[in-house]
Structures are given as C-alpha cells and as structure tokens.
Chain A
Amino acid sequence: MHPAFSVIFFTVTSGLGYGLMTLMVIAYLTGFGGVTEQSALIAGVAALVFITLGLLSSTLHLANPKNAIRAFSRFRTSWLSREGVFAVLFYPFALMFLFCIWKISTGEHEMGMGGIVAGIIAAILAMVTIFSTGMIYACLKTIRQWNTALTPANYMTLGLMLGALFLAAIQATAETLTLAMALIAFAGVMKLMYYAWIAEPAGSTINSATGFTNDKVRILEPGHTADTFLNHEFGHTVLPSKSFMLRSLVFILGFIIPFILVMMGKENMILIYAAVISAYAGILVERWLFFAEARHVVNLYHGAQRT
C-alpha cells in the first residue's frame, strides 16, 4: 500500500493524544502517580492539540474534502464513519472534564459527579476512537496483513504507550515512569507478535484470483504501459533487507531506547524528553511500515503469486 504521510502522521499523533487523555483521566481520578491539577491540565490541552492536528491532517488525504461532512452519515456500516463520529463526540466530554479541573485548580470548586462522569466518558471515547481507527484497516479482507485483531490491538497499545511516555514527561514520578516502562514492554511484545503473524503466507493467490486452481499461472502483461491508480495505490513493496532494517529501527527507536532512557531518567528530565521524541520517531517508522508492507490482493492481477 502507498504510505501516505498525512495518514501516518494522523494515526500516530492522534493515537498519542487519545492515549494521553485516557491515562491522564484515569491517573487524575484515581490519584495514580500524584498527578496534580496543573499537570492534568497540561496533559489534557496537549492531548487535544495532538488529536486536533491529527484529525486536520487526516482530511489532507481526501481528494474531494468539500464532501467530508458526509463522512458521519454511515455510522451503521463503516468504521471510517464511526471513527469520525467518536472523534467528534469525544470533544465536549474532554473539554467538560478539563473545565472541571481548571475550576478545581483555581480553588472555586471540587470535583463533582458530573466531572467524573464526563472524564470517564472522554477516556472511553478516546479508546473507542483508536479502536475504530484500527478497525478501519482490520476489517479489510483484501489485505491479509491488516485483517487481524492484532491491528486494533497494536493501535491501542501504541497510543497508550506514547501517552504514558508523554504523561511521564509532564509529571515524572516513580509510578508514571513505571507505567511508561510497562506499556513500552507490552507494546513491544504486541508488535513482535504482529510481525510474527504476518510472516506466515496466507490468503488469496494468483490461482484463486484468476480461477485457474490446478495449474501454474504467470503474468504475461499487466495491460498498462504507464503508471495507473492501482499501481500507485497498491503497488508499493518493501525489499526484505530494507524491511528488516526498518523493523530493527522500530524496535530500537520505538521501544528499546525509550525504555532505557526512562529507566535511567528518574532525576534527569532531559532523558525523558528524549525518550518521548525517540518513541514518537520509532512509531512513525512503525506506521510507515504498517502501510508499506501491506499487500493488497489486486497485486495478484499484476503478477504477484501471493500476498
């Protein structure tokens, strides 16, 4: 698949935002990690900025954005529509919760039932939105590398991992640092499972694509002389050597370096900031690979023997 930068930036950045918001709400309401009102406000505003930047970026890949408003209309069948609806529903609850915290920080109010409920709904909607983003890809039977429950699982764990790192960078306590390390380890294992899963050949072949299931089938001509929409959108391939190098980069930048930096960074905030940047860069590479390594079955009509 063609790795469109707008979609890569969107999924990673809004994933970070939703993960951060969810963890901040849980941490603040349960008193985990001693998250203060001020830290919660910073985390909440930062999360909203990331989410908004991501959503704006996602509209950049539309060829006809004037009809984008219609994307909320097919909630019953389309995961893309569901993602849009949940993403918009999230805002009022998140803003209400942040407003409550702001009121508390000025000493005017205490956290009431309404604020708690708004926070919990915002946290749930954040997770549901990341889940929907994952399901956009996971529901496609045409791309076997995506058509697995590991896809939404990866989206959610990676969002939470980046969120935990960012929260630790805002308020570095023993608890938030431990949470970040635990989520880095968990997300790393999930990503390993994903790579192991997609390594197995499976699904449609050139034989089932052409209906000739008893004989060897080879392409003679793909029927076009220059680039087509189909080549551009689906023809992207990654060489095995390059894939190995980039996957190593994902694990080094995305998981190993941040884990070590957080482990050493109790007294030194610079190390935590570096961990956030390294993890973010690593997950950008991860998302690029997620798209670039996905092999659509239409490639079978352009000569691929299997996907």
Chain B
Amino acid sequence: MKLGLVIDLDVCVGCHACAVACKQWNTSGTTGALSDYEPYGKQPSGVWFNRVRNFEVGDYPNNKTINFPMSCMHCEDAACVTVCPTGASYKREEDGVVLVDQDKCMGCNYCSWACPYGARELDKVSGTMKKCTLCIDRIYDQELAPEDRQPSCVITCPAHARHFGDFEDPNSNVSTLVRERGGRALMPELGYNPTNKYLPPRVARPVPTDDVKMDLVSKVKNWVNKAISK
C-alpha cells in the first residue's frame, strides 16, 4: 500500500478546519501532546502538523486565491528518514507512512532541514521532532466504523477538498482523482517523490467585477433605489 492524501485546490475554502481537527486529534494521539507555547499570551505559538497558506495566482482579472493546506507528503524517497542519525525517523514498509519514534529522537532538527515542505516541527516541551502520522491511530482502528477510519483532517473538511486512499491501487479514489484532474506533486525537481498530490483548480472564465454591463432588471432596481433615497 501507498497511503496518502489528495488535496483539491479547486474547492478548498481555507477555513483551517483540517488544521484544527488535526491538532485536536493528534494532541492526544500517538505522538501527542502537540505542545502550545503561551497559548493565551500575546504571541501564541505551538506545534502543528498541518498548516494552511494562502496564495494569489495569476494577474487580475485572471487571478485566483488559492488556499493551500500542507502536511507531511509521506515521500517515497524521504530524505528526512535518510538523514536521521538515530533511526527515530522511519518509513513503514507496509503502507509508506513516515513516522518519528518519539523514544529514539534526540531533537537535532536535522530531518526538518531535509524536509522541503516544512512538515516537521520540533516540540520544545518534549524535545523531540513531531509530524503528521496520517492518523495512524485512526485508519487501522477496528473499533471505529469503516467510514471513520480516515485521517481527522479528511473527515472534518467541510468542502470535501481532502481525500485519503491508496495510491498503489490504480482504481482507488485518490488514483482516479489524480488521473482525471491532473494531480501534481510539489517541488518534484527535488526528487523526493511525494505521495500526496494537489489537484489544480478547474479552468473557469473570470467573473467580471467592474465595468459590468447592467441588465434591464438591475437598471430598474438601481433607478428605484435612487428614487427612494431622494
């Protein structure tokens, strides 16, 4: 198996629900807690496995806001695992999930230097490196209903922008999405073969926002509005 996520940039609304759900589940998960520093102070900070950025792509009027959630890509050639001196970072043979053994990590930060996606964050409280586990403590939990055996972020997403599945199976939901929508990897030039893929926005005509020709109904409404305000 090659488990991972597909993120649909066409429908992501940038609500950060995935990031919050991730934090909520994983802070009591296998690599929890996800420590917070000064959570009620002036500069609240802490460990997150998932962060959402916002970009503007293209120039007006063909521009678009792209909300960009990022977590561990569970790379096929994971440099973070190669560089780890202690063997704390490892990639599971059976499903390709990259994990950090919290009992072996010495907190040298080297893996976070090797990761191009900013997926790894050092927890100052435990002194160990933490990262997305693909909710390893959910996806195999036989106590949960089958539809709940998915990462927290995927279940939470209100826009269905996140999909979880096996990339090795050509007919899985994720493989089909990548094939049909032209899913792509981030920074493929580095050669880490990230498993997670991003679906580009569908091509759509730009919606005009100024110099708009008004139809008859709008003209009448405008006239009525002006007349009343006088």
Contacts and interface: CB of A to CB of B under 8 A. Distances in A.
Contacts of A228: 45, 48, 51, 121
Contacts, number: 175
Interface string A148-165: 000000000000000000
Contacts of B48: 228
A136 to B, nearest CB: 7
Given A64-B107, A210-B55, A301-B70, A79 B191 contact: no
Contacts of B81: 77
A142 B45 contact: no
A204 interface: yes
B47 A219 contact: no
Interface stretch (A28-36, A38-46, A66-74, A182-190): A66-74
B106 A139 contact: no
Contacts of A220: 54-56, 65
Contact of B113 (A67, A68, A142): A142
A221 B54 CA distance: 5
Nearest to B197: A211
Contact of A216 (B59, B107, B128): B59
Which interface class (under 10, 10 to 19, 20 to 34, 35 or more) fits A?
35 or more
Interface in A103-149: 136, 139-143
Contacts of A229: 47, 112, 121-122
B198 A211 contact: yes
**Residue in B62, B103, B122 with the greatest tally of chain A CB atoms within 10 Å:** B122
A63 B107 CA distance: 5
Interface string B45-69: 1011001111111110010011010
A68 B105 CA distance: 8
State which size class the interface on B falls in.
Answer: 35 or more
B113 to A, nearest CB: 6
Interface in B78-110: 79, 81-88, 103-110
A138 B179 CA distance: 36
Contacts of A78: 82-85, 110
Given A78-B85, A223-B54, A233 B112 contact: yes
A80 interface: yes
Given A74-B85, A74-B86, A223 B104 contact: no
Contacts of A204: 116, 187, 189-190
A219 B107 contact: no
A61 B108 contact: yes
A235 to B, nearest CB: 11
B59 A211 contact: no
A143 B190 contact: no
Contacts of B110: 78, 80, 136
Contacts of B184: 211
Contacts of A79: 83
Contacts of B117: 298, 301
Nearest to B41: A226
A223 B51 contact: yes
A81 interface: yes
A203 B116 CA distance: 12
A77 B83 contact: yes
B109 to A, nearest CB: 7
A78 B83 CA distance: 4
Contacts of B88: 67, 70
Nearest to B102: A64
B21 interface: no
B193 to A, nearest CB: 13
Given A63-B128, A211-B200, A218 B56 contact: yes
A208 interface: yes
A225 interface: yes
B160 interface: no
A83 to B, nearest CB: 8
A224 interface: yes
8 contacts: A63-B109, A70-B86, A80-B110, A208-B188, A218-B56, A220-B55, A223-B54, A226-B44
Given A140-B79, A298-B118, 12 more contacts: A1-B113, A70-B87, A73-B86, A77-B82, A141-B190, A210-B68, A212-B66, A212-B200, A217-B57, A222-B53, A297-B116, A298-B116
